[in-house]
A and B are shown apart, each in its own frame.
Chain A
Amino acid sequence: MLSAFNFRVIWDYMDLFLRGLWATAWISAIGLSGALLVGIIACMMRISGKKLMSGPAVAYIELIRSTPLLVQLYFFYFGLPSLGIRFTEYQTGIFALSLNSGAYMAEILRAGVQSIPGGQIEAGIAFGLNYLQRLRYIILPQAIGVTIPPMLGQTIVLVKDSALLSLISVFELTRASQILTSERFMPAEGFLTVAVFYLLLYYILKSLSAWWQRHLIHRQA
């Protein structure tokens, strides 16, 4: 099995793989920034207590969570042009990725905010802090600590989900192995190698999360 495995080809194509890895990394980074931005806005709208704000936020979150990312991706890829919007494949892909992860980020943030005892917020109100001040000085500093691990978990999902962008011909890690497969027909070398690269990213994010959780325990102790 391994004797048939052609390490030479992997080495020959290493440049392609590394460019793919790099592309996956920066697509994920931009996607993550977008997701955080969307998530924060959606979360604030959702917990604002005003129907006009929370209604659309809830609809957005539930719609995203109840449909596959691949369908969302195709929706924008095939749908935006018919609305006369011209995006490159990269832009469409990152847009869909951000919108998708943003819904999950919003829920993670909401759980973090709700983990703060109501008494602290009442205390904030009693001292005359307004909504933004309470958010800035009381809620966020505490919410961020507990939300980092689930956010890193969602980042892992996002990195893996970015593989789907290869299906709308965005060049990234999975696309690199598809190129190898079509040029040399060596699927084993191609797909197993990218699997190893994804595992690498996975372990980095996972150990980051573990490190943060230890850090959190120390800080509380």
Chain B
Amino acid sequence: MWSFYFSQLTDSIPFFLKGLWMTFKVSGISLVLGTILGFCVGIARAGRIKPLRYLLYVYVDFMRGTPYLVQIFIVFFILPEWGIQLAAFPAAVFSLTLYAGAYICEIVAGGIEAVDAGQTEAAMATGLNRFQRMRYVVMPQAMRTILPPLVGQYVLLIKDSSIVSVIGLTDITRVGWLTVQRIPEGIMVFGLVGALYFSICYPLILLSNWFERRLRAQGG
């Protein structure tokens, strides 16, 4: 019985690879967009414009205080009621971007605030403008503290992208869910699904650890 299912499973390998490609696509695009969003709002969050800061607190708290599952339901089911109709793929990318952006915002703001205020003052004193101070003085230093948690956040994003399967996007998790209806060997099917996630996430975790060790070695 087991070997029968096993051969059936090997037959569905192309299906799994398609799911893997979807996971890559949806998390890869959200990762890039979420990073851009997170850096923009993170810089604003560390800035001095008070109303903007409070607005960003609300955004960040909402995204961090509610489950991603509820967020994707809101985007997928409620936006259409307000006349914004999104297909599953854009809905997934949109919600994952907003979600990741909130966490990256906090990481970036934390990294910026960890840079000594004297650095900004020194740059100010030589006549660098706001953009130049951020670009040449603050960011290069903040990046060292930002990188390890940022890569860690990418791992979380890839894992959380499994939840987009509930709105019908055929990523690896949904491929597993569909396959297990035909091949009732949960251990085997989701063992394979898990192994695929592991092969993406584990190297990233190692990378994050390496960044962190390097940071500590430099007396971070």
Among B66, B68, B161, B173, residue most surrounded by chain A Cβ atoms (within 10 Å): B66
Among B67, B173, B193, residue most surrounded by chain A Cβ atoms (within 10 Å): B67
Q: Does A74 contact B (CB under 8 A)?
A: yes
A195 touching B173, Cβ below 8 Å: no
* Nearest CB of B to A93, in Å: 13
Q: Does A69 contact B (CB under 8 A)?
A: yes
Q: Does A221 contact B (CB under 8 A)?
A: no
A70 touching B162, Cβ below 8 Å: yes
A187 touching B77, Cβ below 8 Å: yes
Instruction: Indicate whether A163 sits within 8 Å of B67 (C-beta atoms), given known contacts A62-B202, A78-B186.
Output: yes
Looking at A8-16, A198-206, A211-219, the stretch in contact with chain B turns out to be A198-206
A78 touching B69, Cβ below 8 Å: no
For residue A195, which residues in chain B have a CB less than 8 angstroms away from its CB?
Answer: 62, 66, 70-71, 74
A67 touching B173, Cβ below 8 Å: no
Looking at A80-88, A128-136, A144-152, the stretch in contact with chain B turns out to be A80-88
Residue in A76, A79, A191 whose beta carbon sits within 8 Å of that of B74 in the complex: A191
Total CB contacts across the A-B interface at under 8 A: 130
Residue in B65, B165, B186, B189 whose beta carbon sits within 8 Å of that of A80 in the complex: B186
B187 touching A75, Cβ below 8 Å: yes
Instruction: Indicate whether A71 sits within 8 Å of B74 (C-beta atoms), given known contacts A163-B67, A188-B81, A202-B61.
Output: no
Q: How far is the CA of A75 from the CA of B187 in the complex (A)?
A: 6
Instruction: Indicate whether A71 sits within 8 Å of B194 (C-beta atoms), given known contacts A79-B187, A188-B81.
Output: yes
B189 touching A194, Cβ below 8 Å: no
Q: How far is the CA of A78 from the CA of B56 in the complex (A)?
A: 41
**Secondary structure class of chain B's binding surface, majority of residues:** helix
B73 touching A191, Cβ below 8 Å: yes
A66 touching B74, Cβ below 8 Å: no
Q: Does B176 contact A (CB under 8 A)?
A: yes
For residue A81, which residues in chain B have a CB less than 8 angstroms away from its CB?
Answer: 186
Instruction: Indicate whether A164 sits within 8 Å of B202 (C-beta atoms), given known contacts A70-B162, A70-B163.
Output: no
How many residues in B have their beta carbons less than 8 Å from beta carbons of A? 42
Q: How far is the CA of A110 from the CA of B147 in the complex (A)?
A: 22
For residue A78, which residues in chain B have a CB less than 8 angstroms away from its CB?
Answer: 180, 184, 186, 189-190
Q: Does B177 contact A (CB under 8 A)?
A: yes
A70 touching B173, Cβ below 8 Å: yes
Q: How far is the CA of A1 from the CA of B184 in the complex (A)?
A: 45
- CB nearest neighbor in B for A205: B65
Instruction: Indicate whether A74 sits within 8 Å of B177 (C-beta atoms), given known contacts A67-B197, A167-B166.
Output: yes
- CB nearest neighbor in A for B152: A65
Instruction: Indicate whether A75 sits within 8 Å of B159 (C-beta atoms), given known contacts A181-B77, A199-B61, A199-B66.
Output: no
A194 touching B81, Cβ below 8 Å: no
Q: Does A125 contact B (CB under 8 A)?
A: no
B78 touching A187, Cβ below 8 Å: yes
**10 A-B pairs closest in CB distance:** A78-B186, A79-B186, A202-B65, A187-B77, A163-B67, A68-B162, A75-B190, A79-B187, A68-B159, A66-B201
The 15 listed contacts between A and B (C-beta, < 8 Å) are A1-B82, A62-B205, A67-B194, A68-B159, A71-B194, A74-B190, A77-B186, A78-B186, A161-B67, A164-B69, A174-B67, A188-B81, A198-B65, A199-B62, A202-B65
